[in-house]
């Protein structure tokens, strides 16, 4: 160290309050941190790879997933491919991809000991909390968009950009089909936000990335399990896992908004308490490590 | 009282408990602007816990701590304006490079902190490694990056927890010089350290903590002076010198110390009078130096019970250790 190097001014008098950074600034840095981490690319890579594997599987066999909505259309139009992919991916893929980052984004700070670094600067705890939550949601959304886009591109490359048939049996033009796929993606994002919130909560309260990721997956699997137990039918409409099918209301003619609205409030039922709990825990916690 | 007149750190009745263990117990301390304040204590004495409370990272169970009159508990990050430093080792994101880490903390600081990055990297001599990932940095490099990160805030108060840990001797020397220079420029420094020589060289005031309680707070010179009043004398004729010293007014407890001559107790005027008397008697004085305990000795006396070392080897080691002679 050059102890005698250039002067570092050390003001001796009271100065005006600092111009503090905004949440947007903190959010940008959270995104930059995500861009620098391998796990981010692991999740996004999985989101791109799975639809390609799905298309390869369809190409290498003659049978199709006829038992699911749009399953019988996957070899007739590429527009059906991302929709069928969404149906299958709610079981494990998206909970895993979401938890990979949302479950790590706070806990990693504990693991690296960097919470004390960022909490002793000029940024309020709530700003860091909000920025981290927004970053986790952004990553989740990007992963979802990549999944749909890759499925769409791969599907259209092999089976064309042809009209889709709605769940009501009416034809949907390719242009309208694209718009409905985009809307379905947004509808699908609603329960994913709730999954993100749960993973974020676990990340905040456990201070442990692995526990948060595994905890989120366990919760997701438990809901899948509850959904197939016949004695618990009354519970099914309130399970988060069931809300991943709400987008199908958009593919009816006329559009059925009821499942979308239901998914919004049920997802909020999970997300709001999770975020509130995480927030209180984050802003009040002792940072002793 | 304006902010400039407020103590840089003022803790009153600070208490922190972890279950049944009281880590910090009724700690009072006052760090005035311009102080270079040594914060000493054995492991587990509560130093780091106190620093964490000062930086608002943990909440005290009782009492308060204010930075320039502002309580981090009540005012949040506003209380940290003009304050920088690190507790335990400075931590950074291992997957980002050094410069990127500084850009990140500068972004969280705002207020032009980013414009000081190059200067801070130069000061800690990390400019040539700034593009390397922090994950590949040595411990010493991370310490230096921590200092650079602190300097970005253009602080009035610098809180450093064991800043020389992991540095090589040259790095430790440079760290001391840097702290000295920052202090000379008027920066208040709270230095938590195990390196007594470092504290003696840099600090004007100290607090010694043991089992969470303050054992001493005050001027380092006054602390050292409490053990003063004893002199060591080497002459051309120690036997004759001992005879003269024994009858000299104000001189007491004259003791032969073998090859080291003799020792005696006296105040400064009596010691001066003895030197005159020796000269008049034709006894040449090779050395007449006040003999005081080192900070390390005082520290161990105050805290060794806390560390459970009473029956260990340190007592014996201390007894055999050469006593530093302070001119």
pLDDT tens digits, residue range B86-143? 998 899 999 999 999 999 999 999 878 999 999 999 988 899 999 999 999 988 889 8
Taking the C-alpha atoms of residue A93 and residue A84, their distance in angstroms, rounded to an integer, is 13
User: Both B207 and B257 in a single domain?
Assistant: no
Q: Do B178 and A119 touch (CB under 8 A)?
A: no
User: Both B86 and B28 in a single domain?
Assistant: yes
User: Both B202 and B260 in a single domain?
Assistant: no
Contacts of A14 in chain B (CB under 8 A): 2-4, 68
Question: Which has the higher per-residue pLDDT, B325 or B25?
Answer: B25
Residue B304 maps to a domain = no
Task: Give chain B's domain count.
Answer: 2
User: Both B282 and B158 in a single domain?
Assistant: no
Mutate to test the interface with A, among B60, B72, B91, B146 (most CBs of A within 10 A): B91
pLDDT at A67: 82
User: Both B233 and B213 in a single domain?
Assistant: no
Among the partner residues B111, B171, B186, nearest to A12 by beta-carbon distance: B186
Among the partner residues A112, A123, A288, nearest to B91 by beta-carbon distance: A112
User: Both B214 and B233 in a single domain?
Assistant: no
Contacts of B182 in chain A (CB under 8 A): 8, 10
User: Both B55 and B197 in a single domain?
Assistant: yes
pLDDT at B220: 82
Q: Do A288 and B120 touch (CB under 8 A)?
A: no
The ipTM value here is 0.86
Interface residues of A toward B, Cβ cutoff 8 Å, are 1-15, 17-21, 25-26, 28-29, 32-33, 36-38, 112-114, 116-125, 286-288
pLDDT at A18: 58
- B94 in contact with A, Cβ within 8 Å: yes
pLDDT at B163 over 50: yes
The single-letter DSSP state of residue B322 is: P
Taking the C-alpha atoms of residue A89 and residue A46, their distance in angstroms, rounded to an integer, is 11
CATH code, domain carrying B280: 3.30.70
> Among residues B169, B200, B220, which one ends one of the domains?
B220
Average pLDDT over residues A71-87: 91
Average pLDDT over residues B8-36: 92
The parent domain of residue B42 ranges over 3-220
Average model confidence (pLDDT) for chain B?
85
Among the partner residues B80, B82, B174, nearest to A120 by beta-carbon distance: B80
Taking the C-alpha atoms of residue B173 and residue B159, their distance in angstroms, rounded to an integer, is 18
User: Both B115 and B177 in a single domain?
Assistant: yes
Question: Which has the higher per-residue pLDDT, A57 or B44?
Answer: A57
Spatial strand order in the sheet of B83-86: B83-86, B157-161, B188-192, B36-40, B205-210, B213-219
pLDDT tens digits, residue range B281-326? 999 999 998 877 777 777 777 777 655 433 333 333 333 333 333 3
Cα-only R_g, chain A: 22
Q: Could you state, in order of their start, the residue ranges of all structural domains in chain A?
A: 23-284
Half-sphere exposure of B199 (CA within 13 A, CB side): 29
pLDDT tens digits, residue range B56-73? 999 999 999 999 999 998
- CA torsion angle for B196, B202, B208, B211 (degrees, to 10)? -60
Determine the distance in angstroms separating the CA of A193 from the nearest CA of chain B, rounded to an integer: 26
Give the end-to-end CA distance of chain B in Å, rounded to a whole number: 41
The single-letter DSSP state of residue B286 is: E
Half-sphere exposure of A281 (CA within 13 A, CB side): 16
- B5 in contact with A, Cβ within 8 Å: no
pLDDT at B312: 37
Give the end-to-end CA distance of chain A in Å, rounded to a whole number: 28
CATH code, domain carrying B68: 3.40.50.300
Q: Do A36 and B93 touch (CB under 8 A)?
A: yes
Contacts of A10 in chain B (CB under 8 A): 154-156, 182, 185-187
User: Both B206 and B253 in a single domain?
Assistant: no
User: Both B216 and B233 in a single domain?
Assistant: no
Reported pTM? 0.83
Residue B90 maps to a domain = yes
Residue B308 maps to a domain = no
**Secondary structure element (H or E) that encloses residue A220, with its range:** helix A209-228
Among the partner residues B68, B77, B119, nearest to A6 by beta-carbon distance: B119
User: Both B81 and B203 in a single domain?
Assistant: yes
pLDDT at B100: 96
pLDDT bracket for residue A6 (50, 70, 90): very low
pLDDT tens digits, residue range B255-284? 887 777 898 888 888 999 999 999 999 999
């Amino acid at each position: 160290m050059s102890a005698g190097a250039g002067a570092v001014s050390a003001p001796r008098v009271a100065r005006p309050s600092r111009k503090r950074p905004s949440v947007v600034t903190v959010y940008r840095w959270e995104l930059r941190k995500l861009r620098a981490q391998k796990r981010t690319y692991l999740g996004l890579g999985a989101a791109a790879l799975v639809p390609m594997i799905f298309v390869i599987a369809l190409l290498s066999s003659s049978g199709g997933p006829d038992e699911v909505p749009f399953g019988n259309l996957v070899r007739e139009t590429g527009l059906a491919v991302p929709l069928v992919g969404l149906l299958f991916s709610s079981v494990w893929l998206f909970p895993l991809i979401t938890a990979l980052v949302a479950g790590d984004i706070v806990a990693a700070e504990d693991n690296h000991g960097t919470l004390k670094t960022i909490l002793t600067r000029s940024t309020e705890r709530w700003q860091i909390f909000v920025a981290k939550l927004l970053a986790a949601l952004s990553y989740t959304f990007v992963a979802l968009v990549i999944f749909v886009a890759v499925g769409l591109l791969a599907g259209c490359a092999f089976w064309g950009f042809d009209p889709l048939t709605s769940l009501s049996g009416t034809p949907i033009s390719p242009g309208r089909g694209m718009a409905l796929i985009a809307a379905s993606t947004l509808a699908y994002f609603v329960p994913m936000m709730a999954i993100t919130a749960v993973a974020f909560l676990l990340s905040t309260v456990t201070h442990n990335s692995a526990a948060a990721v595994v905890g989120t997956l366990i919760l997701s699997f438990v809901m899948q399990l509850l959904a197939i137990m016949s004695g618990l039918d009354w519970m099914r409409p309130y399970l988060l896992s069931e809300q991943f099918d709400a987008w199908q209301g958009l593919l009816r003619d006329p559009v059925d908004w009821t499942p979308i609205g239901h998914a919004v409030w049920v997802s909020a039922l999970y997300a709001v308490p999770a975020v509130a709990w995480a927030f209180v825990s984050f802003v009040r916690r002792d940072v002793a490590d | 009282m304006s902010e400039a007149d407020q103590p840089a750190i003022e803790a009153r009745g600070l208490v922190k408990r972890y279950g049944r263990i009281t880590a910090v117990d009724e700690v009072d301390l006052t760090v005035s602007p311009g102080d270079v304040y040594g914060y000493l204590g054995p492991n587990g004495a509560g130093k780091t816990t106190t620093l964490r409370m000062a930086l608002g990272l943990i909440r005290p169970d009782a009492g308060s701590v204010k930075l320039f009159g502002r309580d981090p508990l009540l005012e949040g990050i506003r209380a940290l304006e003009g304050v920088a430093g690190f507790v335990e080792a400075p931590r950074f994101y291992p997957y980002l490079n050094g410069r990127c880490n500084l850009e990140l903390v500068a972004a969280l600081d705002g207020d032009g902190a980013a414009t000081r990055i190059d200067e801070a990297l130069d000061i800690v001599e990390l400019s040539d490694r700034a593009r390397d990932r922090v994950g590949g940095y040595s411990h010493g490099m991370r310490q230096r990056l921590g200092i650079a990160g602190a300097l970005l805030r253009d602080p009035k108060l610098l809180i450093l927890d064991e800043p020389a840990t992991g540095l090589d001797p040259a790095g430790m020397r440079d760290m001391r010089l840097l702290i000295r220079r920052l202090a000379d420029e008027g920066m208040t420094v709270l230095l938590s350290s195990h390196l007594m020589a470092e504290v003696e060289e840099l600090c004007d005031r100290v607090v010694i903590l043991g089992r969470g309680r303050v054992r001493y707070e005050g001027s380092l010179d006054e602390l050292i002076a409490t053990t003063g009043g004893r002199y060591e004398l080497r002459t051309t004729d120690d036997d004759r010198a001992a005879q003269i010293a024994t009858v000299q007014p104000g001189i007491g407890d004259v003791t032969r110390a073998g090859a080291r001559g003799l020792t005696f107790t006296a105040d400064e005027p009596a010691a001066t009078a003895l030197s005159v008397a020796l000269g008049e008697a034709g006894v040449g004085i090779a050395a007449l130096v006040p003999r005081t305990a080192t900070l390390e000795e005082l520290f161990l006396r105050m805290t060794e019970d806390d560390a459970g070392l009473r029956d260990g080897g340190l007592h014996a080691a201390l007894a055999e250790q050469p006593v530093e002679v302070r001119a």
